[in-house]
């Protein structure tokens, strides 16, 4: 297939208006479109002709979409089948995926979403060549561990390349779960110290009464239980890198001693008298606002400036434009292999839900969500029902959108009202099981008004 003009699509729907709409839409996109007015007709047509893509409604009066799918996969296994319906249950969607459907789209859907799914489906049929091997579906790795190509992350990559070879101390800030330790490891691997130790010190997870002896080591008899000499973590890290994770949790007493190590590059073991020299690079990270902690005198200002010679800020996942699909696909492949399941992709609707979610736990939360989804999924595609998103977070996001403060810069009132309107329309259609007539009644508006609003929001559904 060299171009859209050779790519064929069969649209199967027993509702004339939907058939005609999809015929016009896909023809304008340059595809060769055929239509079938029933499941029975579709089963006859696919025996006579082969199609690149078949788009079929699930609920039809004579032969349903599942039967069309089975027939298509029997006579033309290479055809990609996309299921679409306002009435399908989770069980129906799972059955469709088990039978080999490429994706499942619930009505109402957005025109741009359908276009993208069809485009992606056709691209999946195209053999990889040197020209398209590096396509948009390929997961992009940087420094062997960081994933994503967003402008925000490219700034981080640029900083890693520039500061890696230097001796300067690095301070990494960012919300919990953004990947601060991965950045620290990448900086270490880009440095002349890459063949030496990279020692992680979790400042929040180490008991206060043990942290000094863990850092500096101790001498025999220094305290009860000290039966022999023991090296500290600074001894282990000599010549390499020390990474202080959650450095804002260090106690004032340890802050003083750490400052001396950074300034003098020497330390004394607990119970010892001899000063020991150490050659380490310090990388520290925190999800706290350390400048605020300094202002409140909970963190030493002189230590803060010693640690924060070069600042790297890790952006939250919600601000990393376009990175979420790459990350989600990577975790999907990782846990499919680990758990031993053949889950190949994330459904379009499930991906849309992920894109709308704010991810308070960032990349770590996304990884946990995908791992749970793979473990729970019974088909070869992640469906919305397998996603475990925080209901509290979703409700808070809705409230935040509805309660945006009016600032001197102003707001986009049409955008805000449009979001609220869309939420109520989707909920009404859900309660009405896809019936626009019932949904209009629930909303207290006329059918004509509902159709106008659906069209304005770019949402396509079935007519009553």
pLDDT tens per residue, range 122-146:
887 765 444 444 444 456 778 878 9
pLDDT recorded at residue 133 = 42
The answer on pLDDT for 2 being more than 50 is: no
- CATH (residue range 4-125): 3.40.50.2300
Q: What is the mean pLDDT of the chain?
A: 84
pLDDT recorded at residue 358 = 87
The answer on pLDDT for 403 being more than 60 is: no
The answer on pLDDT for 364 being more than 70 is: yes
pLDDT recorded at residue 39 = 92
**Domain 151-314 belongs to what topology?**
Rossmann fold (3.40.50)
- CATH (residue range 411-460): 1.10.10.60
Q: Confidence class of residue 218 from pLDDT cuts 50, 70 and 90?
A: confident
Least confident of 271-280, 292-301, 412-421: 412-421
450 vs 281, which has greater pLDDT?
281
**CATH assignment of 324-396, given 3.40.50.11270, 3.30.465.10, 1.10.8.60, 2.30.40.10?**
1.10.8.60
Where in the chain are the domains?
4-125, 151-314, 324-396, 411-460
pLDDT recorded at residue 15 = 87
- Edge-to-edge strands of the sheet including 241-245? 198-202, 241-245, 281-286, 170-173, 310-313
The answer on pLDDT for 436 being more than 70 is: yes
Q: Confidence class of residue 440 from pLDDT cuts 50, 70 and 90?
A: confident
pLDDT tens, 6-15?
A: 789 999 998 8
Q: Compute the average pLDDT of residues 332-340.
A: 93
Least confident of 43-47, 370-374, 439-443: 439-443
Whether 4-125 and 411-460 share one fold: the answer is: no
pLDDT tens, 25-36?
A: 999 999 999 999
pLDDT tens, 131-187?
A: 444 444 456 778 878 999 999 999 999 999 999 999 999 999 999 999 999 999 999
């Amino acid at each position: 297939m060299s171009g859209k003009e050779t790519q064929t699509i069969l649209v199967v729907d027993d509702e004339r208006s939907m058939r005609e709409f999809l015929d016009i839409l896909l023809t304008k996109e340059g595809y060769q479109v055929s239509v079938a007015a029933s499941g029975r007709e579709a089963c006859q047509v696919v025996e006579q002709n082969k199609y690149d893509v078949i788009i079929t409604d699930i609920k039809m009066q004579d032969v349903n979409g599942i039967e069309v799918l089975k027939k298509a996969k029997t006579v033309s296994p290479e055809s990609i089948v996309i299921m679409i319906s306002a009435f399908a249950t989770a069980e129906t969607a799972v059955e469709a995926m088990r039978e080999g459907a490429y994706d499942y789209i619930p009505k109402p859907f957005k025109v741009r979403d359908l276009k993208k799914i069809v485009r992606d489906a056709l691209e999946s049929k195209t053999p990889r060549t040197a020209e398209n091997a590096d396509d948009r579906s390929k997961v992009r790795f940087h420094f062997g561990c960081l994933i994503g190509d967003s402008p925000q992350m490219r700034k981080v990559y640029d900083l890693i390349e520039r500061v890696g070879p230097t001796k300067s101390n690095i301070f990494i800030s960012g919300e919990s779960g953004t990947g601060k330790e991965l950045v620290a490891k990448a900086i270490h691997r880009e440095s002349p110290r890459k063949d030496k130790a990279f020692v992680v010190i979790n400042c929040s997870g180490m008991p206060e009464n043990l942290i000094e002896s863990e850092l500096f080591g101790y001498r025999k008899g220094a305290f009860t239980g000290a039966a022999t000499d023991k090296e500290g973590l600074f001894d282990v890290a000599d010549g390499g890198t020390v990474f202080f994770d959650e450095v804002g949790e260090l106690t004032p007493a340890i802050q003083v001693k750490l400052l001396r190590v950074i300034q003098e590059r020497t330390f004394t073991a607990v119970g010892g008298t001899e000063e020991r020299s150490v050659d380490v690079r310090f990388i520290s990270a925190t999800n706290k606002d350390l400048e605020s902690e300094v202002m409140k005198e909970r963190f030493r200002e002189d230590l803060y400036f010693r640690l924060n010679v070069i600042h790297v800020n890790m952006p939250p996942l919600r601000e990393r434009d376009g990175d979420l699909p790459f990350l989600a696909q990577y975790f999907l492949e990782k846990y499919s292999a680990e758990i031993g399941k053949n889950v190949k992709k994330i459904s379009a609707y499930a991906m849309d839900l992920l894109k709308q979610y704010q991810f308070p736990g960032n990349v770590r939360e996304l990884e946990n969500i995908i791992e749970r989804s793979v473990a729970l999924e019974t088909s070869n595609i992640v469906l919305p029902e397998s996603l475990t998103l925080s209901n509290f977070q979703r409700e808070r996001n809705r409230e935040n959108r509805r309660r945006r403060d009016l600032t001197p810069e102003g707001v986009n009132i049409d955008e805000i009202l449009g979001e609220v309107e869309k939420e109520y329309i989707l909920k009404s259609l859900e309660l009405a099981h896809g019936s626009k007539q019932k949904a209009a009644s629930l909303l207290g508006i006329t059918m004509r008004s509902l159709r106008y609003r659906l069209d304005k929001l770019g949402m396509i559904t079935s007519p009553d």
